[in-house]
A and B are shown apart, each in its own frame.
Chain A
Amino acid sequence: MHSRASGLHAVLLAAVSLVALTGCPDAAPAPCLIQRPFLQGYTIKFTLEGTPPAGCEDVLPSTFADNWRFDGFDAHQIWVKSDSIPYPPGDEGGPNSAVLGNGTFDEVPDADNICTIAEMTSFGGEAPEFPVLGTTNITYHPTNLRFLDGARYQGSTFEGTVEATFGTCTGTYSVQALSPSPIGFIGPCEDDSLCDPFGDPAQGILASGLNPDYAIACVKEEWVTTYLTGDSELGICFFTKPFPGLK
């Protein structure tokens, strides 16, 4: 009897130990994601911080817009290009191209679902027919780009700081961005209907592609109509609230 009971006790102890040792791990958060170029990039609102340097009042816009395309590479490297700055003749791209910027992305989001690119290398070149300014040289130097990530948002919006140089004038801008590109993917809007995140499959209306949690409307402010649509009656679907822009 004693040996049998010892055997039983050993088995029960082993079962409890198995349970205790293995435990129940939580799922790790989704890796940091960035929206790929097939979504036509991010449309970005630039807002000047402070006052422009002397002599630059007519050069540095107080707000403007641009469309950037990011792409992800090995070792969490991110490269970016502005739609306003084409590859110059003879430039076939590659890591040495001056029109491309580079930075390193976080691997996993923080507790607030934020993934950051601390700094990107400066990039730029000649921007032909830039609204208001005409042909001008532009250089961007982004820092502290904070993407809202996780399974629900997947890097579809970010905020940050960009030092923008137009010619010889440099200003520091705070930025807020949205993907899929409202100007390149969704297209100009006359009203809020194009911004509907759900669409209506039964009516053949495609989803806008915008995250349904975002506070979005058809925005026709000057920075949109001047720098993106060129028509005061046409806006883009964009945030009505500051980052993270949730309803």
Chain B
Amino acid sequence: MDRTTLRRRVPGLGEPGRLRALLVAAVMLACPASLAQGSTSVLTGNVLDASTRAPVADVVVTATSPALQGEQVVVTDASGLYRVPQLPPGAYTLRFEKETYRPYTRTGIEVTADRTLRLNVELLPEVAGSETVTVVGTPPVVDVGSSTVGTAINNDFIRNLAVSRPNGLGGANRSFDSLASTAPMAANDLYGVSISGSQSPENSYLIDGISVNDPAYGVNGSPLTVEFIDEVNVITGGYMPEYGRTLGGALAATTKSGGNEFHGTIFGTYTPGGLTGAQGPLTVVGGTPSILSTRDLDYIWDIGATLGGYIIKDKLWFFAGAQYAKQRYSYRREYQKAQVDSTGNFITDPETGQPIYDPIEGGTSRRFALEKGWNYIGKLTFLITSDHRLSVSVNGTPTSGGGDGDYPLRIPGLLQLRAPPNAGTYNGSGFNVFNLTSKNDSLNVTAELNSSFLDKRLLLDVRVGWHHQLDEGVPADGSDFQTGAEGTLAGTPNLVTSTSNLQNIARLEPDVPEAVRQACSGPFADLECGFTGYAVGGAGFIERLKLDSYQARGVLTFLVQGAGHHVLKGGVDSSWSSYEHTKAYTGRAAWQYLDGNSTPDGLDALSEARRFGSLAGPDQPVTLDSITAKSKSTIIGFFVQDSWSILDKVTLNVGLRYDSLWLSGADGVTRMSLNDQFSPRIGVVWDPTQQGRAKIYANYGRYYENIPLDIADRALSTEPQIFGFSDTDCDPVGQGGLARCDAAKRLTSGVRPNRRWRSAAADTTPVDPDLKSPANDEVVAGAEYEVLANARLGINYTYRNLVRTVEDMSNDDGNTYFIGNPGEGIGDTFPKAKRTYHAVTVSFTKTFSDLWQAQLSYTWSRLTGNYDGLYRPEDGQLDPNLNSTFDLKALLLNQDGNLSGDTTHNIKLFAAKEWPILPTFSVTTGLSFTANSGPPINYLGAQVFYGPGQAYILERGSGGRLPWVTSLDARVSLNFRISKDSTVSASFEGFNIFNSQRPVTVDQNYTFDNVGPIIGARNGSVPAPYGEIVRIGPNYDPNLTFAENRAAGNVESIQAASGSLPKPRFVQGAPAQVVLPDPFQQEGFVNTNPNWGKPNNYQPVRSFRFSLRFTF
């Protein structure tokens, strides 16, 4: 729109005319932010006459920017308000013009994604000439219109600081979600970044406004590289109804766009494994250490290029990019041999009673685990007319691993876990068990239309998108799911050897070095080189996941006046998701060797640990080569909201969102229908200075979970399995083994309709018909103040409380299960799920200006309850809304307390500065320091039905806390300016420079024996005789009670009870035996685990990354 020819009458916005304006020095900036799911921002404000303070109508306001196609022009209304909406992020210039006023221009207005910035202007009447007044001072930075809590991470932060650690969440391609851990109240967890006490699968992950959550598990399904990203918004709380369907935070990434000039990069990074630091010691006592395992980084590198520009200037822009990344880890086995005397007995350590092992010279083997992949993007932005803009974007992350003699980095059953497997993962099995190739592909297609009507008083934003994933772990020889094809990897079953009888590893593992074969050939080789529970044969479980999410959204925005100004928004958005899951066991069954005490007839047997199939009739098995289940979910939501600037003094944000979610299993029948998701939101923001320099805010909201499809796949669909007990000489791994072992099925029942076979998991899990939706309530409150130019100091309080969750439960101690709400409905005899988060954050943020930037924060927090979230930290089980936490009431005993994500103190310091050395050369230095106190440690034992790690012997957190974890990272860049617009930078980043090796997890199994909890006890309050160290004598009679044995002299007291559980140690050459309750709350004893409290994982080791980048 040409401002010199503006003639059209705009209702409510005053008479147009030839426009000129002047500016007075004082500028006010207020920013009522409304965070939309998308990349649309708004510049708004009031124009006053500087002399009379009266509002000025009909001022022509023109916005221009390198990020904007063409220009956007609006006029002020009768109240002097202007509003320029639907702006992409970038640096803007606003020009104000009206007759009788001096023109005014304001430059350098930084607009970030999904923000509304208010720039109030005072125009000087024209007294002489028409000289334009241009203000170049820094605008205020306090967002005085929004109570949203979050951090915007832009390219300055990414380029100047060491981010996206090489051996961390970012992986080889340096994914955008790895940046989220820099925000206050955010911390790395096992599957991503947890925000405000919630877990990473509970977050919302967005790229250009569409959800890229994994539809089955909730984690980030599209780890797109930061090279394609313009900005990442990490929203930790206080957001408006436009954001919904998350109990965590939101990570919203905006991809780069083209422009009226061509720009791009060519880049490469390399992280050598040889420069990484050494990991802290992992000492494991006991077990059968015939194999010592280590994992080392070999290399990580990536190369790529981006290019953005125009096809038609101001009309059609493009952005494209490609990146190839690769990472490889080395997994080494060191074979050891136990010392055995001439009579065939172990020679043991007198202190520990454990066998003594010596390395076998030449007994080392090594394999690699490899992953590689592409990231790509293509984006077009088309300005149809000045009122209509269309953008279309395609991006993807096809990734693969394994093959050609290498392991994959992601394995079936754990395809969502982006961290490389621990050292021991591959070393309890023959190579073919992990001779797999993996895929983790994602594809996102987005189309967005931004339209304005009624001279930008009415806006329409419409977005459609498709998120697709393909994840799989399948045999590396290409045999795919042909589990009946003998001689192929798919046709080779998996077998786990006896877990109690030692067997010579040289006989089990065909790939042992010759030196090991020679050393393990004597008459006592089963002892000297013995291994239990070794997996041989094929992979066992293989799977393929196809995930799709189709999304559509429309939002109307309308500006009205009434006691101030109202920005009314209403919208509808929907998502249709599907999850097609194909599963199989290689060779059609996974076998395990069972000792006689685990079989119905008391004889040793080979049994199917897993086998897909069903029974057509009594003892009439039907084996399935594989099973495929397709489950679906639909969610439709509506919202209305009003951002009311009351008399332009206080902003009130109110809104209501409603969502309805339903899920169906493989039979296509809706099994869960949740129609109760009303989400009110209300917030208020007040600027006490009325200058945009400070704010005080508060916000309340309720948020609901978008339940991932894993529950529909596992519980609302059947997963039919069959098993029986075969004679042990049938050899299932050999040729024709399945048929031979089926023929050797024994008669094991005289009372059931089936005599040889049994079925399992044949039924769906019923759902409470009164099921309610999982939800959080949240309150945020705080204040900010601008202490320096471009810098603000803030304090924030966040409170989150879990209202309820959905979980599977059993009212009858594991006989039958149902899905419901703990504490409500059918689950009303269960305690409610509890998770409460309090946090106070003090922060200082300075954006990059005057050649430096800084971001400092300290967060004190408390996370308590009995429910960690969608995955169990104790064992990493990721089955959202289906993990074992609430399965039995007995599992919930002693579970109230400080949760696994409770780290009281979190410190994050980031600072960077550019040092100009020459006109064509500068150096940029960035320093990062993070420190957090450790999470609580627990005393865990085995639960009689669920096994190890499930019973809390004492209350949560009774075992103290892990130590503080600190990391100092640095980045140095040498910047050579080649021409006006092109630069070559060579960078060096160091992560954890001093190789601080603090444990991040420890073994929390106090005992692997079945044990009963001591209700309500903590260390210091353990009642006697619990905690007493005893020695069980050789005449101990299992047919008598412990008390009776003690009375008979079969129990020797070593150390009296002291009110606390003794730290496990060796007593008289064996692990200490401690008096504890048995599962029936009778006095008993357990064998303690000498590894309790010992580290089993450390913080990432020191690493260095070298980068070269050409930017033009």
Q: Which residue of A lies closest to B1015 (CB)?
A: A202
B619 engages A93 (CB within 8 Å): yes
B151 at the binding interface (Cβ < 8 Å): no
Complex contact A93–B813 (CB within 8 A): no
Report the bound CA distance from A151 to B770 in whole Å.
10
Contact flags B668-704 to A (C-beta < 8 A → 1, else 0):
0111110100000000000000000000000000000
How would residues 183 to 219 of chain A score, 1 for a CB under 8 Å from any chain B CB and 0 otherwise? Answer: 0000000000000011101111111111110000000
Nearest A residue to B1079 via CB reads A204
Instruction: Give which listed residue, B574, B892, B1079, contacts A18 with CB less than 8 A.
Output: B574
Beyond the given A74-B622, A154-B818, please list 6 additional residue pairs across the A-B interface where CB-CB is below 8 A. A7-B451, A30-B764, A79-B617, A151-B767, A151-B826, A205-B1081
Judge whether B129 is part of the interface by a CB distance below 8 angstroms.
no
CB of B718 to closest CB in A, whole Å: 9
Q: How far is the CB of A60 from the nearest CB of chain B, in Å? A: 25
A11 touches B462 (CB 8 A): yes
Return 12 A-B CB contacts under 8 Å, by A number: A22-B634, A37-B751, A41-B751, A73-B617, A92-B619, A93-B619, A150-B769, A151-B820, A152-B818, A199-B889, A201-B892, A202-B893
A64 to B763, CA, bound (A): 32
Complex Cα spacing A75 to B616, Å: 8
Asked if A94 and B766 make an inter-chain contact with CB atoms under 8 angstroms apart, the answer reads: no
Decide: A151 near B768, CB < 8 A? Known: A72-B762, A211-B812: yes
For A209, give its contact among B673, B766, B815 (CB under 8 Å). Answer: B815
- Residue total for B at the interface (Cβ-Cβ under 8 A): 72
Name the CB-closest residue of B to A86: B750
Is the CB of B747 closer than 8 A to any CB of chain A? yes
* Shortest distance between the CB of B38 and any CB in chain A (Å): 16
A window 129-187: CB within 8 A of B? 150-152, 154, 156, 180
Q: Which of B289-297, B491-499, B645-653, B753-761 has 4 or more CB atoms under 8 Å from chain A?
A: B753-761
B823 to chain A, nearest CB (A): 14
Instruction: Check A53 for interface membership: any CB of B closer than 8 A.
Output: no
Indicate if the CB atoms of B767 and A27 lie closer than 8 Å. yes
B24 an interface residue at 8 Å Cβ cutoff?
no
Q: Which residues of A contact B617 (CB under 8 A)?
A: 73, 77, 79, 94-95
B671 nearest in chain A by CB position: A27
> In the complex, what residues of B have CB within 8 A of residue A42's CB?
none
Which of the listed residues A97, A198, A207, A209 has the most CB atoms from chain B within 10 Å of its own CB? A207
Contact check: which of A14, A151, A204 meets B1082 at CB < 8 Å? A204
Q: How many A-B residue pairs have CB under 8 A?
A: 187
A71 and B754: CB pair below 8 A?
Answer: yes
Q: Nearest Cβ distance between residue A158 and chain B, in whole angstroms?
A: 15
- Per-position 1/0 for A35-47, Cβ under 8 A of B: 1110101000000
Closest residue on chain A to residue B460 by CB atoms? A11
User: Which B residues are in CB contact (< 8 Å) with A180?
Assistant: 812, 815
Chain B interface residues (CB < 8 Å from chain A): 451, 453-454, 458, 460, 462, 552, 554, 556, 572, 574, 614-620, 622, 634, 636, 638, 660, 662, 669-673, 675, 747, 749-756, 759, 762-764, 766-769, 771, 811-813, 815-816, 818-820, 826, 829, 888-890, 892-893, 1012-1013, 1015, 1077-1082
Closest to B828 in A: A212
Task: Across the interface, name the chain B residue whose C-beta is closest to A40.
Answer: B751
Task: Determine whether A54 belongs to the interface, using a CB cutoff of 8 Å to chain B.
Answer: no
Q: Give Cα A197–Cα B669 distance, bound, in whole angstroms.
A: 32
A184: nearest chain-B partner, CB-CB:
B751
| Complexed CA–CA distance, A71 and B759 (Å) | 9
Does A28 make an interface contact (CB < 8 A)? yes
Contacts of A86 on B, CB cut-off 8 Å?
Answer: 750-751
Query: A29-B769, A73-B614 known; A94 and B813 CB under 8 Å?
Result: no
User: Of B574, B673, B754, which one neighbours A22 at CB under 8 angstroms?
Assistant: B574
- The answer to whether B614 touches A74, judged by C-beta atoms less than 8 angstroms apart, is yes
Q: Are B662 and A15 in touch, CB under 8 angstroms?
A: no
Question: Is A111 an interface position by the 8 A CB rule?
Answer: no
> A28-B669, A28-B671 given as contacts; is B766 within 8 A of A150 (CB)?
yes
By a CB distance below 8 angstroms, the chain B residues around A31 are 763-764, 766
| CB-defined contacts of A29 to chain B, threshold 8 Å | 769
A227 on the B face (CB < 8 A):
no
Q: In the assembly, what is the distance between CA of A35 and CA of B614, in Å? A: 17
B767 and A30 form a contact (CB under 8 A): yes
With contacts A29-B769, A69-B751, A71-B752 known, is A203 near B673, CB below 8 A? no
